[in-house]
Structure 1
Amino acid sequence: MAIRVIAVDRTDIAACVMPDRFRHDVTYFASPAGTGDAPAQLSPREYWINAADAKVTLEDGVLTIVSPLDSSSRTELEITEDQERWLEWLVKHNIQHIRLEVGG
């Protein structure tokens, strides 16, 4: 089943359709609520993606994963073509606040 990524408060932007696995992938890119410029609270299935971080990840083509057990342990993973397409959509439209909807 497809996932539609909606730009919250941006009805002028068409949704970005992503594969079902994206509902898990998005957490690697999201800022925790209340950190940096992210709102203190987000509704269910809503995420805040820091614009500067999205741009760096897109330019570098890699995602840095930090171990939840040891913050000094980091791994770099190459982003997928789907993730790259989604990041391009974010950067092009200057989107930070998104919502995931099931169905495409």
Structure 2
Amino acid sequence: MILVTGATGTIGRYLVEALTEADVPFRALVRDARRGKELGCEFVVGDFDDPASMVSALKGSTVSCSTVVARSPWPVSSRWSGNRPVSSTRRGLSGSRGW
């Protein structure tokens, strides 16, 4: 089972479509259940900033594919810690060790 993160984004939607067409088992990690339903595939609600949700999302997965991309019209600030998607991914995955 593949866990696809960023599945509702520009790149992630293409990956979801390709995996669906190839009949490859996967689930999408989404932050909003409404957007997950729009994908029309198996999904789980979670967030990289919530390690417990990552543990749940990764259960049964053998591969995690991240399509998370940072795009912002504003300059990088201390709020983003340089690269928020990368630091959030690290936090989420380190908090879910042992899944």
If the TM-score is normalised by the length of the shorter chain, which range does it land in? under 0.3
Structure with greater helix share of residues: 2
TM-score for the superposition, normalised by structure 2? 0.27
Highest RCO, 1 vs 2 (Cα 8 Å, sep ≥ 6): 1
